[in-house]
A and B are shown apart, each in its own frame.
Chain A
Amino acid sequence: MWGVIKSVLAAFFGVQRDRQRREDFERGNPMAFIVTGIVMGVLLVGVLALVAIWVAG
């Protein structure tokens, strides 16, 4: 699970280690990445919205 989160974070940042990438592709099932990606995407938007409210409010 931690490996999946790390890979999603790496995708957000835009830099991934080649070794990690190869490991990810060995998993076979992309569902874990898709679900984690959506959840963390929503979390990112939520955090940015909170920061904006905190700064502007």
Chain B
Amino acid sequence: MTDVSLLTALAILFVIIGPLLLIARSLRLSVVPSLILAGLIVGQLGIIDEELMLELARLGIAFLIFAFSVQIHTERVRTTVSDTEVVAIVQALVLGALGVVFALGIGITLELGLLANVGFEGTLGIEQALFVGIAAALSSTIVGTALFAKGQSDIVHDYLSAEIDSFNDLLAVIILLVVSAGVFTLEPIATQLGYGVILFAAAVIVNRYFFGVIELLTGGSDESMLISIVALLIVFLAAAEFLETSIVVGAFAAGLAVRDNPVTYSEVFNGLTSIRQFFVAIFFATVGALVTLPAPGAVIATPAETLSPFLPVAALAFGLVVLTVIVKPIVTVALLVYNGYDRRSATVAGLDMDHVGEFSIIVAIEALILGLLIEPVFEAIILAAAVSMLLSNLTQTYAEDIYRAMLDRGWLGRPYHNVDDWHTVPEGITDHVVIVGYGRQGRRLAQFCEEIDQPYVVIENNPQALSALRDECAAYVLGDAIEPETVEVANYDRARLIISTAELPALTDYFLSLSDTVDVIVRTRELPMAAELLERGATYVIVPDLLAADQLASRLEGLLDGTYGPEEIRSVGLEALGVGDTAPHPSSTDLPTQTDDSEV
């Protein structure tokens, strides 16, 4: 029944998406794999006109890239390469190489006919293998950080995964440029890059000169501005199509052409978000719908014939899942630990990116449309993406437990300390204050201890804080607070007071277990949790909002009863800005800045 109208097909798609998303929500799974799954189901019904849906789906790709580009070009471009980006590059190279080798292995097995009756149309050569490599290498921002509602966040690993992911995204755009060249030979790639440069140049010109004109002409009408920006995107897509390069390049350039001004045009940008969410949902569902699974009926009737073309697909997908879910975290953890990060942050960051990223899906679909990728390999990549994203949800939920289990079995080895002065604690220190975390709070607490001549030890797990620790702290330990080496050096048992400014449950639980012998102050932002922690033996619980409210209350009362004039309260606030300086690096203890709502 392919005579169903596009509206009906869309309706059926969304009718299936809704309940699946609800189920996924109750299982705490993220949106993207649920969408792919919904597409898979609808795809098996055979009601989707693939070409029509793909046209809508490509608008999804365009909006996804467009939004990414609008957001990226407003961030300051750094010229230095940080150690996390080195990690990202090496990780991508290693995984990419492994992916290629694995796919070639499958290809050779099929070619040699080692398995009777197993195979599919087309050959799995080096080009196909490259795409498998790309899929293995790239994880992405959206699944990695935003879609999953976690409890408290540990900033060190969050920013680790965010940096590696955004590097991956950039890499993906470059790969897409190359893929759109159509063939992997030098000349067309050069031409494509040339076209890309032309589009980007046009984008810059539009941004500089024409965008202001559009702003002026739309005269503050949000609707008109919204349609104009969408039209601008479409013009760039058409230009990309005309130059026979990928629409991804066009969408990326269009993003550069738009001035990011979320304050003046909040409604316009809200509008773009809604439109993007709608089309991106269609995109991921369509991707799922393009995968043909063997019909269950046919499997029972003629198992061998039905399954034989599917077997290599399944093998490829399985291999990709193993590579991304198991090998990738291992590589990432090894690289991060080598760069001086503690084993826990490294593990949690590694488990954040153990999936095939959605940019890989875009690469795959563009390659499929351009005829570069054969359908079985495409299907394998999509299946692997869906499965690995689902598994990724699981590993993120249990990241802390996985870390514990691996640590207990000794799989994580010893902490790698690549600096000699990883701690400066005098031996046999007693009656000291242990300050866990050297963020804004930790720094102020250390200062206070110095003011009152109280010996202290700072524990911090971010290697980027090392220079500040060296300069400012009498005694510090660089490492995770509950690793045995740290415990030994910092001599927790003989401390007078432990103040944990980190909000990780694992750390909090550990310190509370010491509360019989040492005074322990822990921190949480959840009020019911605070009461519980006090009951469990905490000497005091830092609830930032509660403490801040006390301070603020006196100022507000002063303003209302006329003790302060409006000018005075302002100057009190302005003065305070000089005092509370910001931490120079992300620390596990800083309040995470508001994460964006999870968005596709």
Chain A complexes with chain B: no
Interface residues of B (CB under 8 A from A): none
